């Protein structure tokens, strides 16, 4: 017999049943409730500022999922992921502003949706280019190659060449109405939030399904012991490069989304610190967990907003605090990582797992 409430009462007869997403009625209810909250509750209940914060959480999560794939599931350290997000953003922008689309594509508002997919592919291919050294090196040496991706891509190509296209100086102007999906211009906080929610949901679905496949099991095997994985017949070079492509694809999607959330696109939106930030997000949220990328994004974005609320009123009495806020933010970021590594090394996802099991197994939680 199958229990509706207690996971310990469910018995699986096949691998398909064991890997299914919604295994009980209670889990189905929770997932439906989550979708209702995300797609109906948050847009209706949160005012503009808080909705923008929710949008930033989703953007951060999309970027962090690619880092989670590389570090958490494949064991490949990356410190240049912002470069691939930037590639996606500039690819989408150039396709929308510069590419001569057929008039029917423009009239139907399909230029931007098409550019999102192309941006993902370009981000993935650019990521593979800098992931090629993973065939020969790993650890510290791979960190250096991914850092090179950041400086070569953003500081050299984008700043010195791509940003100059069209004589626009250092930034591409994106006035309201430029970004359209069908008949709807993405020019309000609500529409930007819905675009983020849809893209993040699709990225999570693709990521989760990949992890349940042969590819996902190969990634985990490489992470745990790449020599043993190779002995078992896994082509570790192929799967490492595939991990870089998928992570870059997610980054490209995140960058293409960011185009809809800004009035002007500049290389300053993708500093090297953003790459470090995304690594910190998964360290705080939990390495090796999709939940970790989302929980880490929630924590970091909300904590920084609360810190800003605290500093701005104090700025009336200590004006220097406002000028030093960037340094205060960086210090809080480093402090948060240190605290979690000491007191919660498995991240927020592990704590969520414990809380969930406590209620699922009650009254036998011990």
Position 329 pLDDT exceeds 50: yes
Q: Which residues, 6 or more positions from 15, have their beta carbon under 8 angstroms from its beta carbon? A: none
DSSP summary character for residue 227 = H
> For the segment 131-159, what is each residue's pLDDT rounded down to a tens digit?
998 878 887 888 888 899 999 999 899 88
Position 228 pLDDT exceeds 80: yes
The mean-pLDDT minimum among 52-61, 103-112, 189-198, 212-221 falls in 103-112
> For the segment 287-304, what is each residue's pLDDT rounded down to a tens digit?
999 999 999 999 999 999
Domain boundaries, the chain: 1-45, 46-270
- Sign for the CA dihedral angle at 120, 123, 125, 127 comes to negative
215 burial class (0-12, 13-18, 19+ CB within 10 angstroms)?
middle
Position 258 pLDDT exceeds 50: yes
For the segment 315-341, the average pLDDT, to the nearest whole number, is 83
For the segment 124-129, the average pLDDT, to the nearest whole number, is 96
Position 335 pLDDT exceeds 80: yes
The whole-model pTM stands at: 0.91
Position 97 pLDDT exceeds 60: yes
Nearest to 95 by CA among 71, 77, 112, 78: 112
Which pLDDT value is given to residue 51?
93
Confidence of residue 8 (pLDDT cuts 50, 70, 90): low
Question: Torsion over CA of 335, 48, 263 and 59, rounded to 10 degrees?
Answer: 50
> For the segment 23-55, what is each residue's pLDDT rounded down to a tens digit?
777 778 888 999 999 999 999 888 888 999 999
For the segment 114-118, the average pLDDT, to the nearest whole number, is 95
Contact 192, 262 (CB under 8 A): no
Nearest to 83 by CA among 116, 126, 121: 126
- State how far the Cα of 67 lies from the Cα of 76, in Å rounded to an integer: 9
Average pLDDT over the chain reads: 88
Which pLDDT value is given to residue 134?
85
Contact 97, 166 (CB under 8 A): yes
Which pLDDT value is given to residue 317?
73
Position 73 pLDDT exceeds 80: yes
Nearest to 86 by CA among 224, 270, 309: 270
Contact 154, 270 (CB under 8 A): yes
Which pLDDT value is given to residue 235?
94
3-state secondary structure of 181: strand
Which pLDDT value is given to residue 1?
46
* Tokens read off for 19: 């890997």
Maximum Cα–Cα distance for the chain, whole Å? Answer: 69
264-265/172-173 β-pairing: antiparallel
Contact 275, 83 (CB under 8 A): yes
Which pLDDT value is given to residue 171?
77
Contacts of 271-274 spanning 24+ positions with Cβ under 8 A: 271/82, 271/154, 272/79, 272/80, 272/82, 272/147, 272/150, 272/151, 272/154, 273/330, 274/63, 274/82, 274/85
Q: Which has more pLDDT, 361 or 284?
A: 284
Distances (CA, A) of 182 to 100, 155, 186: 18, 35, 10
For the segment 329-358, the average pLDDT, to the nearest whole number, is 90
Q: Which has more pLDDT, 162 or 54?
A: 54
346 burial class (0-12, 13-18, 19+ CB within 10 angstroms)?
middle
> For the segment 78-96, what is each residue's pLDDT rounded down to a tens digit?
999 999 999 999 999 999 9
């Amino acid at each position: 017999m199958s229990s509706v409430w207690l996971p310990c009462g469910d018995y699986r007869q096949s691998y398909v049943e064991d890997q299914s997403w919604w295994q009980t009625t209670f889990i189905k209810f929770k997932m439906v409730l989550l979708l209702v909250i995300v797609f109906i509750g948050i847009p209706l209940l949160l005012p503009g500022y808080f909705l923008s914060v929710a949008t930033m959480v989703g953007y951060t999560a999309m970027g962090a999922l690619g880092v989670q794939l590389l570090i958490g599931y494949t064991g490949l350290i990356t410190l240049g992921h912002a470069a691939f997000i930037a590639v996606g953003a500039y690819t989408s922008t150039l396709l929308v502003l510069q590419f001569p689309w057929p008039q029917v594509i423009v009239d139907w508002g399909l230029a931007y949706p098409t550019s999102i997919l192309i941006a993902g592919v370009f981000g993935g291919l650019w990521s593979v280019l800098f992931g090629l050294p993973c065939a020969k090196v790993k650890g510290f040496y791979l960190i250096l190659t991914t850092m090179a991706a950041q400086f070569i891509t953003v500081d050299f190509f984008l700043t010195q060449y791509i940003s100059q296209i069209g004589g626009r100086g250092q930034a591409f102007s994106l006035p309201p109405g430029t970004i359209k999906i069908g008949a709807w211009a993405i020019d309000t906080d609500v529409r930007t939030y819905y675009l983020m929610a849809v893209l993040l949901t699709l990225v999570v679905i693709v990521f989760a399904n990949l992890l349940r496949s042969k590819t996902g099991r190969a990634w985990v095997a490489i992470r745990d012991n790449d020599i043993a994985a190779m002995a078992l017949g896994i082509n570790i070079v192929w799967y490492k490069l595939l991990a870089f492509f998928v992570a870059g694809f997610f980054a490209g999607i995140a960058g293409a989304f960011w185009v809809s959330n800004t009035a002007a696109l500049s290389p300053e939106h993708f500093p090297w610190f953003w790459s470090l930030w995304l690594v910190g997000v998964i360290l705080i949220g939990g390495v090796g967990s999709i939940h970790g990328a989302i929980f880490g994004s929630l924590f970091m974005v909300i904590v920084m907003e609360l810190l800003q609320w605290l500093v701005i009123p104090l700025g009336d009495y200590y004006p220097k605090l406002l000028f030093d806020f960037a340094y205060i933010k960086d210090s809080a970021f480093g402090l948060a990582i240190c605290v979690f590594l000491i007191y919660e090394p498995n991240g927020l996802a592990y704590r969520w797992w414990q809380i969930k099991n406590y209620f699922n197994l009650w009254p036998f939680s011990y």
